[in-house]
Amino acid sequence: MASPVDSIDFRSDTVTKPCAAMRQAMAEAEVGDDVYGEDPTVNRLQEQVAELLGKEAALFTPSGSMADQIAIQVLTRPGDAIISAPDSHIAFHEAGATPMLAGVQFSYMPSAIYSEDDVASAYRENDHHFPPTTLVEVENTYNMGGGLVWPLETLRRVRAKASELGMKTLMDGARLWNAACASGHSEAELCQGFDMVTVCLSKGLGAPVGSLVAGDKDSIHRAHRARKMLGGGMRQAGILAAAGLYALEHGRSRLSEDHANAKFLGAGLSAISGLSLASDSVDTNIVIIDVDASVGTAAQLQAKAQESGLLFFPTEAQRIRLVTHLDVSRGDCERALDILSTCCA
């Protein structure tokens, strides 16, 4: 059986390895104690991301999950409810942290991309019988929907409705870079008006670790304390921040290549008997495929493919996910199609 080292790895865009130039930038990074605010490379990264997102300030965190949880703690109180799409990252991929750490619950929307009317229908006023709905969360791109990109006007209408109802807004923009690339709108345009935004440097951009949470200065001041409570204070973190700066400079400009490879992969997979696209189109770098029972289960298909050197994840009993990234080429996509065609024969 092939190992991850010598396989084509479509499990996630987090599996990328730092290139030699990124490693050099890390080795040469100027550092200081970030807990004291004295790491110049971290400060530069935070300032650059805040500017890209059109926010007053940003805070570097070890992970996207921590960034999300910090934002939720800043924007809610225990006992509140959050409006969120089904299968959102904050609900299903952060180990139950949201109710455990922030003491809030979810009000799920009927679809991955929802409307201002959906927000209004889910909203509950601050009546003592109910958990008050105080936060609207948007995930852009939407992972479990196949990397779906929110239309700009839909984002604006949802944000405006939340504001009208007195709710705060949070964008989980772990792959916001992909949304900006695919939509042609800047990151700042896509998250304009949102109270807080989180972004990831190790998804798509190729950094080995790190995310940021951004917002106004008061929110980020409070975020510092939340990060400390969660154990996220780092010392000479400029070594990691340098990788993030390199990723921002060199990673964003090449995301269209990943998107083109994902579209190629999606078209090829949907042409294989027993496989079909789970969505109408491939928006960015995530391809989700439904597996017909005649082929077997998703786990069985995964095991067969791994024997031939192809790695991906099942997301449901009859569904798989493949993610393109900087460490897979068009040739790798072609080989993946050959392997899966053989597996499904």
Q: pLDDT tens for residues 113-144?
A: 999 999 999 999 878 888 999 999 999 999 99
Rounded CA gap, 7 and 311, in Å?
7
Quick one: tokens of 107? 């009000």
Query: Residue ranges of the chain with pLDDT lower than 70?
Result: 1-5
Quick one: tokens of 71? 């934002």
Helices (H) and strands (E) in the chain, counts: 14, 13
Helices 330-344 and 298-307 pack at an angle, to 10 degrees, of 120
pLDDT of residue 4: 59
Quick one: tokens of 283? 């928006």
- Asked if 291 and 270 count as a contact pair (C-beta separation under 8 A), the reply is no
Q: Which residues contact 158 (CB under 8 A, 6 or more apart)?
A: 114, 115, 116, 119, 136, 138, 169
CB-CB neighbours of 282 under 10 Å:
26
Q: Which residues contact 54 (CB under 8 A, 6 or more apart)?
A: 187, 188, 189, 191, 192
Rounded CA gap, 37 and 228, in Å?
13
**Predicted TM-score of the model (pTM):** 0.95
Q: Which residue has the tokens 């439904």?
A: 290
Rounded CA gap, 297 and 292, in Å?
8
- Asked if 140 and 149 count as a contact pair (C-beta separation under 8 A), the reply is yes
Helices 64-75 and 217-229 pack at an angle, to 10 degrees, of 120
CB-CB neighbours of 270 under 10 Å:
15
Rounded CA gap, 143 and 148, in Å?
7
Short-list 156, 239, 244, 230, CA closest to 200: 244
CA 60 to centroid of chain Cα atoms: 16
pLDDT of residue 1: 46
Rounded CA gap, 181 and 255, in Å?
7
Per-residue pLDDT of 229-275, as tens digits, reads 999 999 999 999 999 999 999 999 999 999 999 999 999 999 999 99
CA 74 to centroid of chain Cα atoms: 20
Q: What percent of the chain has pLDDT over 90?
A: 94
Domains of the chain and CATH, by start? 4-15+254-344 (3.90.1150.10), 20-252 (3.40.640.10)
- Asked if 73 and 98 count as a contact pair (C-beta separation under 8 A), the reply is no
